[in-house]
Amino acid sequence: MSPHPEPVVSELIELLSLERLEQNLFRGQSRDIGTKYVFGGQVLGQALSAAQATVDSGRMAHSLHAYFLRAGDVEHPIVYDVDRTRDGGSFSVRRVTAIQHGKVIFFCAASFQGSESGAEHQLPMPDVPGPEDIDPAPAVPPGVMATLPPKVQRWLSRRGPFEFRHVYQRDELNPSKLLPFQQVWFRLSEPVGDAPELHHALLAYASDFQLLGTANYPHGISYYQPNVQMASLDHALWFHRPFRADEWLLYSIDSPSAQNSRGLARGQIFSRDGRLVASTAQEGMIRVLPQDAPAHDSKASR
């Protein structure tokens, strides 16, 4: 790890480093990053960190399947209760329940496996420009920023722990209708330690960025519009090959369907050298409300 990590990076690592209350019980703090409620990636990363802490070394997460049940309160910590469901000869399974204010807000199952040899194939990485050939997204003009809700202003003005380079830029404040595809390069903004468990938790955190928003592309809508209400319902993540979250990764995302106020998005994550390192899928609620009922000022009903 860098001897003097940037505050946003060190804060994220601290966020993913849970306090152990009992053998299978952990507590994680919450952070306000500008989203209305706790960012889903935070809960994913913390739940995976809790599960990993109960698995013998040598077995790494290969899949995680999660459901978001209630919105999390950014002002309070979250307790993670891990059930050691199974430790077999090759695989270990953990169930993690996240509790806040006495209620379950999230649960997931994660499976772990040691390294084995076997048949191997993968789909090729899309042929896109490299991250160094793509300019960072331009800053929102001050006059436009002043018209946005305070939470959205904090989200757009903060410097987060991850860098993003969109292959095809889209103005989320004035979105046009596009095909439901996007490719985004991302990486942690500075090098960190070598522990694969840390990089798995960091990727779980980052995998919630960009994903569901792809389902908005054909409809010309965006989360930043006050009458658009969005919430993650579930999230699946598969780890295929070793990777580092502090090196450039390509997130290639598509949305095959949206219906009944729900959108589905799928993602493939490639390393810089073209290896498919992870896959994701997420379904979320997407509602377009009447203009006189702004979504950012009302609690999402799920």
Catalytic annotation, pick one of 42, 232, 255, 271: 232
For the question of residue 87 being annotated catalytic, the response is: no
282 assigned to active site:
yes
Task: Say which of 100, 111, 252, 282 is annotated catalytic.
Answer: 282
Question: Mapping DSSP to helix (H, G, I), strand (E, B) and coil, where does residue 156 land?
Answer: helix
State the Cα–Cα distance between residues 197 and 205, nearest whole angstrom. 12
β-bridge partners, 190: none
Question: Any residues with CB less than 8 A from the CB of 292 and at least 6 apart, and which?
Answer: none
Q: Of the listed 207, 208, 210, 279, which one is catalytic?
A: 208
Strand partners of residue 253: 182, 267
Kindly tell me the burial class for residue 1, based on how many C-beta atoms sit within 10 Å of its own C-beta (0-12, 13-18, 19 or more).
Answer: middle
> Distances in Å between the alpha carbon of 182 and those of 103, 125, 218, 232?
36, 13, 12, 19
Paired residues of 276 in beta bridges? 270
Q: How many helices and strands (H and E) does the chain possess?
A: 5, 12
Residue 169 among the catalytic residues: no
Q: What Rg do the C-alpha atoms of the chain give, in angstroms?
A: 19
Q: Catalytic residue numbers?
A: 208, 232, 282
